[in-house]
Chain A
Amino acid sequence: AQTVTQSQPEMSVQEAETVTLSCTYDTSESNYYLFWYKQPPSRQMILVIRQEAYKQQNATENRFSVNFQKAAKSFSLKISDSQLGDTAMYFCAFMKPTGSGNTGKLIFGQGTTLQVKP
């Protein structure tokens, strides 16, 4: 069974600085997807970034980038130039690829609450 672990329950960062959220996972699959979701106080889940395991290049989306280390099963999220609107709970998630009976079920980590301070 797959598991996702986020070992940082809470973190804080000063506005405009950089912060890294950690995530490790365990799987015997060779191909899969990894995601970071953001859940602000509104509780709406927002996709931040995704990574396909067969791609060696780390995904980036504007101020958000990941450090994907497949052998170490590590998938950290770096937020650059932090903004007050980045304050939210962040979840790392794992998904097997769809097809061949896989339904696209997401397995979430415990979450990290990030506070961006002015």
Chain B
Amino acid sequence: GAVVSQHPSRVICKSGTSVKIECRSLDFQATTMFWYRQFPKQSLMLMATSNEGSKATYEQGVEKDKFLINHASLTLSTLTVTSAHPEDSSFYICSAHSQGAQYGELFFGEGSRLTVL
């Protein structure tokens, strides 16, 4: 099946620094990627929709200057958490929508655990 890879799987950073998380579709072209945030034992909350070659669409309440999303190619989207604070510590998951998929199946990355000290 289709594979989506996230990197890094775990990252620890100091408060005030920026962290970049990559989401790659390894064997298909992803016109659209989604970024989710998940707190422990809670559901996935959609943060933004990333479209190749255009600006991301952010969900209500998500700070676009805080969570920068870039989708520069059909196989790569990046999420940069700028000026990270301890409250940004969370599990971040990306998913990719395959171009031409008939039923819109999404493929998920393995997730990235961010810890801000």
**Interface, chain A (partner B; CB < 8 A):** 33, 42-45, 47, 50, 52, 89, 91, 95, 97-98, 102-111, 113
Q: Is the CB of B42 within 8 A of A95?
A: no
Q: Is the CB of A106 within 8 A of B103?
A: no
- How many A-B pairs fall under 8 Å by CB? 58
Given the interface pairs A91-B44, A105-B46, the reply to whether A44 lies near B108 with Cβ below 8 Å is yes
B103 to chain A: which residues have CB within 8 Å?
A: 33, 50, 52, 97-98
Task: Select B97's contact among A45, A50, A98, beta carbons within 8 Å.
Answer: A98
Complex contacts, A103 vs chain B, CB 8 Å: 32, 49, 51, 97
Bound-state CA distance A33–B104 (Å) is 9
Closest to B98 in A: A104
Docked Cα-Cα span, A50 to B108, in Å, equals 15
Is A97 a contact partner of B104 (Cβ separation < 8 A)? Answer: yes
Q: Which chain B residues (59-117) contact chain A, with CB distance < 8 Å?
A: 91, 93, 95, 97, 101, 103-106, 108, 110-111
Q: Interface range on chain B: under 10, 10 to 19, 20 to 34, or 35 or more? A: 20 to 34
- In the assembled complex, the Cα of A103 lies from the Cα of B44 at a distance in Å of 17
In whole angstroms, what is the CA distance A98 to B49 when docked? Answer: 14
Residues of B within 8 A of A33 (CB): 103-104
- Complex Cα spacing A108 to B36, Å: 11
Chain A neighbourhood of B106, CB < 8 A: 95, 104, 106
Q: In the bound complex, do residue A113 and residue B41 qualify as a contact, i.e. CB atoms below 8 Å apart?
A: yes
B108 touches A105 (CB 8 A): no
Alpha-carbon separation in the docked complex, A98 to B43 (Å): 23
Using known A-B contacts A103-B97, A109-B43, A110-B42, determine if residue A98 contacts B104 with beta carbons closer than 8 Å. Answer: yes
Q: How far is the CB of B74 from chain A (nearest CB, A)?
A: 15
**The 5 A-B residue pairs with the shortest CB-CB distance in the complex, in nearest-first order:** A104-B104, A45-B108, A98-B104, A104-B97, A108-B43
In the complex, A47→B101 CA distance in Å? 16
- Chain B residue nearest to A43 in the complex (CB): B111
Partner of A111, one of B43, B93, B95, B104: B43
- Binary contact readout B8-39 vs A (1 if CB under 8 angstroms, 0 otherwise): 00000000000000000000000010100010
Question: Which residues on the B side are within 8 Å of A44 (C-beta)?
Answer: 108, 110-111
Instruction: Using known A-B contacts A47-B105, A98-B104, determine if residue A104 contacts B43 with beta carbons closer than 8 Å.
Output: no
